[in-house]
Structure formats: structure tokens, C-alpha cells
Amino acid sequence: MVRHLILVAVSALPLLMVALLAAGAHGPGAMVAAALLWAAGVAILATAVWRENVEPLRRLLDELGTDTGHEARWRVQRLREDLERCRDRRAEANELLGDLSAGLPDGLLVVDRKLRIRLINPGALRFCGWNEIQPGTELLDVLRDPEILEVVERGVKGGRPEPIIHENPRGVWEVRVSPVGRGGAVVLLSEVSLIRRSAELRRRFVQDLSHEIRSPLAVLRTTVEALEDEVDPDTAEVLVRQVERITRLSEELHELALIESGEVELTPEPMRLADVVAEAAADARGNARRAGVTLEHAVEGDPELLSDRRSLFRILSNLLDNAVKYNRPGGRVELRARREGAQVVVEVEDTGQGIPAGEIKAVFQRFYRVERGRTPGQGGLGIGLAIVKHLVQRLGGELTLDSREEVGTTVTIRLPAAGFPPQVRKKPPHGRVGGR
């Protein structure tokens, strides 16, 4: 600062000389006054120049880490080049993101924390019914469906809402929303009209097939029963067993189709859990005795629940049937039930061969069976767990399966004690199912 003041004073010396010469005609007092005015003016000028020019320049040099203007210019040039490269990379990234989003079969919509659109691809444009939407447009100006806006707002706030199904004139869509790290959300829009239609056709085919083969099966059963006294007993037994197997397959296919389509009416009624457990255990005890398997059941306390009795009995019967069928001679099956808060918990544990870890999820697919060589002669249809899974979902419960090879399998069901939610009585969403 002192150096700067001296430079300004030296630069203003000619002005001082002019002022002294002009004031000399008025005497020494005028010269002193002119000198003082000159000094004050120099100080004011030096301060103004320092604040407006020198000090900002000095701070810039300090931030650049240099003391000379030449080196500062070199560094500024480097920064400008880096900035240009960053701009080029950003443009390339935006172009790549645009190409990727445009190539997606689903709709993609990205919004910021203020629900302004940052990115939208052709699929999302089709969902919205627009030909073009500029980035920065308010989402409320494009979509006015309150359900979609609600889930997007929850995603923007960091939540992960469940997918919803939305139907508009352009199709049936599954809407998934996920939050992004710096605020905002990503909305994935999948058109599921064809999937739902194919699922509906599949269900109708299964239902019609199971219905149409009932009459031929009845005739075949009657014929086999009439031939029992005329053929070899072993042959008759095989024929009867195979007819029963096909009949059971037809009945279970029909039942599964009805459950999937939501045509099975569920009626909640109060019941004692111990009664249903005892009834299912008694029904399965004959098969367990023939298979050489010990079947035990136990209920802690005397829990009561509000649920559909027929569906609960069907669930327990299928689980016990599987536990006995896939067990080993001398094995054990245990059916346990208890109350946990607002839920009832039912567990079916067996000491069978277990399920390989890679196949645990697959057993819930219809017609799926664990490797047939591991369970020779069991004759499973692969529909049991599919029926169990869908019935548990319709009752508003949860189904989990834990299994270890050569140790056994435990299936756990958690059901609401106060009755299943009303929405589960509606037609369930289409999806994949399975069975063991």
C-alpha cells in the first residue's frame, strides 16, 4: 500500500508544481493550502485505485499462486483450456445420455428437487402424450395425475415408493420412482399392456384346459374302475394312480387359475388358530404314516385371528403335503404356530433332503420341481407352492422359505391377525408364480 501511495504521489508531482506556481501570486499561505489539497487528493486517488484495481488484482495473483502478470496470464490460459475440455466432456456425456435414454424400450423421466424436468426420452413423451417437452418444464404442466405426482414427490424427498399401475389412453403403464443423490428423482415408465394381456390369455387357457379335461377324466376313471377286476392288480393300481394324478393336476390348475384371476372369494371370519392347525395335521397324518414320517404340531397359547378359513386350511395342507412328500423314511415334520404382536406366524419344518440354494427362488414357479432324481417316484406336480404363495398374498401375508441340503426345509408364513387388507380381495397384479 505504501509503495502504491508513493507511486501515485510521484505521478502527481507535475500537478503539485502547477498548483504551487498558481498559488505563488497569492503568498505563502496559498501555497501551503495548495500543497495540502494536493496531498489530500493524492491520498484519495491512491485509495480508490487500490480498492478498485490493485487489491483485486493482488488477490487474483495470490489465488493463482503467482507474483507476476506474465505467469498469471499463462495460468489463466491453462484454466480456459481446462474449462473448454470440461465443456466438451459435458456435451459428450449429455449426448451419450440422450442416445442411451432414446434407445431405452421404456420411458425415462428425470426431475430435479423442484419437480422440473431435466431429461425425458421418447417413451416418456409417449406416456405424457406430448411431441416435445423442453428441459426445465414444470412436471405439473405436463402431468396432472395426483397419484403419479404423489409418488414422484416422495421419490424427490428420498423415499422409494412402491411401483404403481397407471392406465391412460396410450396403454397400461408400470411407474417406478427412485431418488437420486443430489436431489430429484428418476421415473421409469414401462408399458405392460401386452404383458398383462398375455398373462390373462395364459390364465384363461389354463382355466379352460382344466375345465375341458374334466369330462374325459370322469369317463376314464369310470372305465378304469370297471376294468379293475379284469386286469392284473399291479396294472390296475398303476392306471388308478395315474388317473388320480391327472385329476389332481386338473383340479389344482383350475384352482390356481381362479386364485390368480381373483375369482376366489375370501370371507374373513373369526377362528381359533389351534383348530385349523389340528385339522390340517389330522388330514395329513395318514400320508405321513404311509411315508414313515413323524408328524407333530404345536400351538403356543390360544391365538385367534380373522381370516379366510378355507384358504388358511389349503395353505397348511399344501405345505404339510410337500413336507411329507419330500421327506425321507424316518424323518420328521413339525407344524408350529404362535401369535407375534399383530401377526400370527405359522412354520412348517421338515427333515427332508432340502433344496439347493440356487433353486430356492425357483420353487415358487408353477410346474417347477427340484431335480427329479433327488425325489424319485414322488409324482409332484409343481403347483403346490404356487397356490400357497398366491393365497398368502391374497390374505395380506408374507411367505419365506429357508432350506439347507441334507438338513431340511422350513417354510414360514406371517398373516395379519386382524384380517387381510380389503385391497387384497381385488384382482391381484399379474406376475410370475410357481410351485414346488
Q: What is the three-state SS of 292-312? A: CCEEEEEECCCCEEEECHHHH
User: Structurally, how many domains does the chain consist of?
Assistant: 4
Report residue 312's pLDDT band, with 50, 70 and 90 as the boundaries.
very high
Instruction: Residue 395: name the closest of 309, 326, 321, 333 by CA.
Output: 309
Same domain as 286, residue 215: no
Quick one: 350 and 382 in the same domain?
Answer: yes
In terms of domains, do 178 and 30 share one? no
> Rounded CA gap, 34 and 39, in Å?
9
Do the Cβ atoms of 153 and 142 come closer than 8 Å? Answer: no
- Report yes or no on 337 lying in a domain: yes
Same domain, 247 and 140: no
Nearest C-alpha neighbor of 262 from the set 117, 390, 103, 111: 390
Classify residue 140: in a domain, yes or no.
yes
- Residues 256 and 111 occupy one common structural domain: no
**Statement to judge: residues 176 and 217 lie in one domain:** no
- Predicted TM-score (pTM) of the model is 0.50
pLDDT digits (tens, 9 = 90+) for 418-434: 877 754 433 333 333 33
The number of angstroms, rounded, from the C-alpha of 145 to the middle of its chain's C-alpha atoms is 21
Nearest alpha carbon to residue 137 among 162, 111, 100, 157: 111
Select from 44, 65, 86 the last residue of a domain: 65
Q: Are 124 and 189 a contacting pair, CB within 8 Å?
A: yes
Q: Each residue of 42-84: pLDDT tens digit?
A: 677 767 766 666 666 667 667 767 766 667 777 778 788 888 8
Is 70 part of any domain?
A: no
Same-domain check for residues 273 and 419: yes
Cβ pair 253, 383 in contact under 8 A: yes
pLDDT at 123 over 90: no
- Regarding whether 414 and 276 lie in a shared domain, the answer is yes
Q: Report the pLDDT value the prediction gives residue 331, as an integer from 0 to 100.
A: 92
167 domain-assigned: yes
Assigned domain for 49 exists = yes
Is 76 inside any structural domain? no
pLDDT at residue 198 greater than cutoff 60: yes
Domain span holding position 257: 199-261
Q: Is the pLDDT of residue 143 over 50?
A: yes
Spell out the SS3 assignment of the chain: CHHHHHHHHHHCHHHHHHHHHHHHCCCHHHHHHHHHHHHHHHHHHHHHHHHHHHHHHHHHHHHHCCCCHHHHHHHHHHHHHHHHHHHHHHHHHHHHHHHHHHHCCCEEEEECCCCEEEEECHHHHHHHCCCCCCCCCEHHHHCCCHHHHHHHHHHHCCCCCCCEEEEECCEEEEEEEEECCCCCEEEEEEECHHHHHHHHHHHHHHHHHHHHCHHHHHHHHHHHHHHCCCCCHHHHHHHHHHHHHHHHHHHHHHHHHHHHHCCCCCCCEEEEHHHHHHHHHHHHHHHHHHCCCEEEEEECCCCEEEECHHHHHHHHHHHHHHHHHCCCCCCEEEEEEEEECCEEEEEEEECCCCCCHHHCCHHHECCCCCCHHHCCCCCCCCCHHHHHHHHHHHCCCEEEEEEECCCEEEEEEEEECCCCCHHHHCCCCCCCCECC
Nearest to 349 by CA among 388, 298, 308, 304: 298
**Would you state the pLDDT for residue 131?**
84
Instruction: Tell me which of 191 and 423 has the higher pLDDT.
Output: 191
For the chain, first and last CA: distance in Å?
Answer: 88
Beta bridge partners of 313: none
Q: Are residues 141 and 279 in the same domain?
A: no
**The CATH number of the domain where 132 resides is what?**
3.30.450.20
Give a yes or no: residue 53 inside a domain.
yes
Last residue of a domain, one of 191, 226, 252: 191
State whether 141 and 210 are in the same domain.
Answer: no
Instruction: Please state the rounded mean pLDDT for residues 154-178.
Output: 85
Percent of the chain with pLDDT over 90: 15
199 falls in which pLDDT band (50, 70, 90)?
low
| Tens digit of each residue's pLDDT (9 = 90 or more) over 280-299 | 999 999 989 999 999 999 99
Does residue 246 have a pLDDT over 90?
no
Q: pLDDT per residue over 315-373, tens digit each?
A: 999 899 889 988 988 999 999 999 998 899 999 999 988 888 777 777 776 666 665 44
pLDDT at 5: 59
Q: Are residues 157 and 282 in the same domain?
A: no
Q: Are residues 244 and 301 in the same domain?
A: no
pLDDT of residue 334: 94
Residue 330 falls within a domain, yes or no?
A: yes
Return the higher-pLDDT residue of 181 and 281.
Answer: 281
User: How much is the pLDDT for 95?
Assistant: 73
The C-alpha atoms of residue 233 and residue 105 are separated, in whole angstroms, by 60
Last residue within a domain, chosen from 65, 89, 115: 65
